[in-house]
Structure 1
Amino acid sequence: MKKQKVWLVTGASRGFGKEIVKAALEAGDRVVATVRSNATGLQEQLGNPADLMVVTLDVTREDEVKQGVAAAVAHFGHIDVLVNNAGYGLLGATEEVTDAEARQQFDTNVFGLLNLTRAILPVMRAQQGGHIINISSLFGYGATVPGLGLYGATKYAVEGITEGLAQELAPLGIKVTAVAPGLFSTDFVTADSFRFSATALEAYGATVGKTRGAVAGLHGNQPGDPVKLAAVLIRLAAMEQPPLHLPVGTDAWNMLQAKTAAILEEAKAWEPVIKATDHVQG
């Protein structure tokens, strides 16, 4: 008989988060879905299922995160799968982005993820098991689009944090996976999930400016199906040995291959210089 898992999914009001919540419920599991506002609205949209608990919290506020996790455990007794999905995109040249804009991006995409992870780990350690799934991005493999460098940096951080966690948590029976989606037809590029730097300098018109102009045309034309991505996460959560890194979508796969090949090619060209810094063995 299938064991009924308890999921905690952040950023569940729309996009990937909402699809993952729906998929987990359809799989017969129980779900704690976190939203920043209108918890009743999500509960009603999904038909008020008994196996769904919606919690209002801001991932950047550690006190709210701790309270939300405590409420989830009190309600369902345990948590088997944490999906760190909450986040948003920021488009702007590094010079254009203010300190406040950059910090807010990292506070949500990186430090918010850490807040949830720290809050959930005592629960999973006590259970001697669990699975943390961190939603990264194809831009966590390569920040190759002008204007997405800082967003990509947050996803590079997610990949690195995931690798470190995997080493720390493997002996404790806790699994960790970084899922890096490509471009999927969610509302990610709408105002609620995607922001532009307030400053737009003419000097970057030929690079970042072109990206700004292309974003509006991207909405609704992304190649990935978010329902299929949610199904991938259901499979991941059922695996005894899930992957540490998982690109999802052909574009994410291509980005990973291209970036890996480019790094190796460049490094090989500099191999004599790279190795010339070692102490001479004598």
Structure 2
Amino acid sequence: MAVAVVTQRRKRRVVSELEYSPRVWLITGATSGFGLALTEAAAAAGDLVVGAARSPDRLDHVVAAYPDQVSAVEFNVTDRARCAEVVSEVVARHGRLDVLVNNAGRTQVGALEETTDEELRALFDLHFFGPAALTRAVLPQMRRQRSGAVVQMSSVGGQVTAPGFGAYCATKFALEGLTETLSQEVDFGVRFLIVEPGAFRTNLFNPGAAYLSAPMPEYAGTVGPTRDYVASGDGSQSGDPAKAARAILAALDASTPPLRLVLGSDAIDGVRGRLDALGRELSEWEAVGRDTTVE
């Protein structure tokens, strides 16, 4: 009979009293920020992790710390043709794939009028089309297993907007809409978790990490403060990526996991404020909306 044991930070379910079968993770953007924190947390908990990154050598220190558990693979999530190959490589090596984390991403700031078509399409490739293709690639394996989890690293920007973050928020809104729909149409044991962090001390605000569209003076009053915040806010964020990783692992291990996990007091306050505003607006215009019914 399987028994519950405690290993490091959380309770684990084992296949016997003597043996635990570790989960196999595929994490994109694994060399920094949430991706690195999740790689280290999963390995410390006894799981196996394949960290995917454009520069996999940046994961060498984690591979050295966990040589039997962590490996790195070169992968650019915008290379949608390679998604199925990466999944096949993971399954060939480990026999299964239990958790996919779509984490790779970047910050972009610019009013819509400042944002070029190329910039907008590139961000959608990174934040939406890439994760969609990789999710599509893992579903057949998880269907065969009748189990698995897909973690979409969204943002509070998947719920709450701000001037200058239009392109960024659009990609996250799209990813969240797709994932919520997946949770309704996939019925073979796969869980979906949308993570919505607020401001955490990742590298998104590092000098050179955030992409800033060419500014127009007409938007200095609205987008200017956002641009200044991103350019100077690195290191001032209140969120701890290591604590976020532990929260994500706890959500995945919950008997009734959430669909959305909002991380950080700033994010929780922002989402609550948006929900309150939506409720007030819905109530204010409810009679007008209901009066459109055919009689």
Q: Name the TM-score, length of structure 1 as normaliser.
A: 0.94
Count of residues in correspondence between the two structures? 276
Give the match for residue 44 of structure 1.
Answer: 61
**Does structure 1 residue 242 correspond to structure 2 residue 260?**
no
Using the alignment, how far apart are the partners of 1:53 and 1:192 within structure 2?
A: 27
Give the match for residue 62 of structure 1.
Answer: 80
Which residue of 76, 81, 88 maps to 2:94? 76
- The answer to whether the 8 Å contact 1:58/1:65 transfers is no
**Does structure 1 residue 270 correspond to structure 2 residue 285?**
yes
CA shift at 1:46, angstroms?
Answer: 4.2
CA shift at 1:45, angstroms?
Answer: 4.5
**Does structure 1 residue 173 correspond to structure 2 residue 213?**
no
CA shift at 1:146, angstroms?
Answer: 0.9
Give the match for residue 147 of structure 1.
Answer: 164
Give the match for residue 267 of structure 2.
Answer: 252
Over residues 5-41 of structure 1, what are the superposed CA-to-partner deviations in whole Å (9 max), with x where a residue is unaligned? 111111111111011000000000000110012x233
Give the match for residue 95 of structure 1.
Answer: 113
- The answer to whether the 8 Å contact 2:40/2:62 transfers is no
Gaps of 5+ in 1: none
Using the alignment, how far apart are the partners of 2:99 and 2:289 within structure 1?
A: 42
Over residues 188-214 of structure 1, what are the superposed CA-to-partner deviations in whole Å (9 max), with x where a residue is unaligned? 1125542111x2100001111121112
Using the alignment, how far apart are the partners of 1:279 and 1:45 within structure 2?
A: 63
Using the alignment, how far apart are the partners of 2:154 and 2:145 within structure 1?
A: 26
- The answer to whether the 8 Å contact 2:62/2:70 transfers is no
- SS of corresponding position for 1:172: coil
Over residues 124-176 of structure 1, what are the superposed CA-to-partner deviations in whole Å (9 max), with x where a residue is unaligned? 00101101111111111111x2100110111111211111110111x201111
Over residues 25-72 of structure 1, what are the superposed CA-to-partner deviations in whole Å (9 max), with x where a residue is unaligned? 0000000110012x2331235425211121111111122222111111
Give the match for residue 19 of structure 1.
Answer: 37
Give the match for residue 182 of structure 1.
Answer: 198
Instruction: After superposing the two structures, state which structure 1 stretch, 15-24 or 240-249, moved more.
Output: 240-249
Considering Cα pairs closer than 8 Å and 6+ residues apart, tell me whether 1 or 2 has the greater RCO: 1
Using the alignment, how far apart are the partners of 1:11 and 1:97 within structure 2?
A: 24
Which residue of 205, 208, 211 maps to 2:220? 205
Give the match for residue 49 of structure 2.
Answer: 31
Q: Name the TM-score, length of structure 2 as normaliser.
A: 0.90
Using the alignment, how far apart are the partners of 1:82 and 1:248 within structure 2?
A: 19
- SS of corresponding position for 1:270: helix
CA shift at 1:250, angstroms?
Answer: 0.8
Give the match for residue 233 of structure 1.
Answer: 248
Give the match for residue 9 of structure 1.
Answer: 27
Partner letter of residue 112 of structure 2? T
Runs of 4+ in structure 1 displaced over 3 angstroms? none
Using the alignment, how far apart are the partners of 1:41 and 1:267 within structure 2?
A: 49
Gaps of 5+ in 2: 1-13, 15-19
- SS of corresponding position for 2:221: coil
**1:107-126 alignment runs, 5 A limit:** 107-126=125-144
- SS of corresponding position for 2:64: coil
- SS of corresponding position for 1:54: strand
